[in-house]
Amino acid sequence: MDQRMADVLSVLELETLEVNLFRGESRDIGSPQVFGGQVLGQALVAAYRTVEGRACHSLHAYFLRRGDFNAPIVYQVDRSRDGHGFSSRRVVAIQHGEQIFHMSCSFQVPESGMEHEAPMPDVPPPEALSDFDAYAGEILMELPEKIRPFFEHRRPFELRPVKQRNYINPQPEAPLRQVWFRAVDKVPSDDEWLHRCLLAYVSDYNLLETATLPHARSLLHLQMASIDHAMWFHRPFRVDDWLLYAVDSPSASGALGFARGSIYSRDGRLVASVAQEGLIRPRGPGPAVAPLPPAAS
């Protein structure tokens, strides 16, 4: 197995400390704090450890403090309710004696019902696009030293943007991104819960950054942090098959950016929806360019 895949699976393998109490380790991905997707994925694993025969269909989370990747994170699960068809859980992540994150999530017994879905955007297939890591390697030495570790990090997911962003000389762009992604190796399990936890992990990529596109700001000159994150799981999928992440940002104001994403399988099924709001605070003067108007939703 690819070492990156083995490592992310290891990160999601929580240690049971006591009933409803779990502990997870962290990884440094080149950012100043623990990657938000890691905390999201681990929290969902902790919640799944307390239910049987039910799949998570939605989650709503808040990031309260920066996580320290040099220390373990403890996850405490509150079994809020177990009903006939649904179960509700609340997960609190604790580090150095303080809450750094909390999440509410709901699980459902599988059942059938009415179905419809929004169509997938018409974009080139992943085979026609270049890998983000290859692009990052080409521009690495042109980037400020401070942000190079993030671009050097070898992710457990392959990312192929429909359009590569210009990180050296950013120009105003419409707040839209479409990125194909998949795990770098086959996930050694068909368990639906694991694929949903891995999707929660990778869903934190590409969201908040989309809200910066109209403003032509270098990432070095922005303070950015996820504040809340919501997901809805609609249909089964595999994260080791190609998935398309179609993201748009309808608003940014008051130092907050809002982004939403639709995740499609290769055959056009809408498998999940995501929404996130986060802090986007400029550091120093901005470029002398006017931002583009928001794209129509």
Positions annotated as catalytic residues are: 204, 226, 276
Distant-in-sequence, close-in-space partners of 210: CB < 8 Å, separation ≥ 6: 175, 176, 177, 247, 248, 249, 259
- Could you tell me the two tokens for 235? 């249909």
Helix 36-48 × helix 192-202 angle, to 10°: 160
- Which residues does 231 contact at the CB level (< 8 Å), separation at least 6? 58, 59, 199, 200, 203, 272, 273, 274
DSSP, residue by residue, 111-149? -------PPPP----GGGS--HHHHHHHHGGGS-GGGHH
Task: For residue 148, count CB atoms less than 10 angstroms from its CB and return exposed for 0-12, middle for 13-18, buried for 19 or more.
Answer: middle
Please answer whether residues 79 and 20 qualify as being in contact, where contact means their C-beta atoms are separated by less than 8 angstroms: yes
**Distance, CA of 126 to CA of 131 (rounded, Å):** 9
- Report yes or no: 214 and 171 within 8 Å, Cβ to Cβ: no
Q: CA torsion angle for 187, 191, 194, 196 (degrees, to 10)?
A: 110
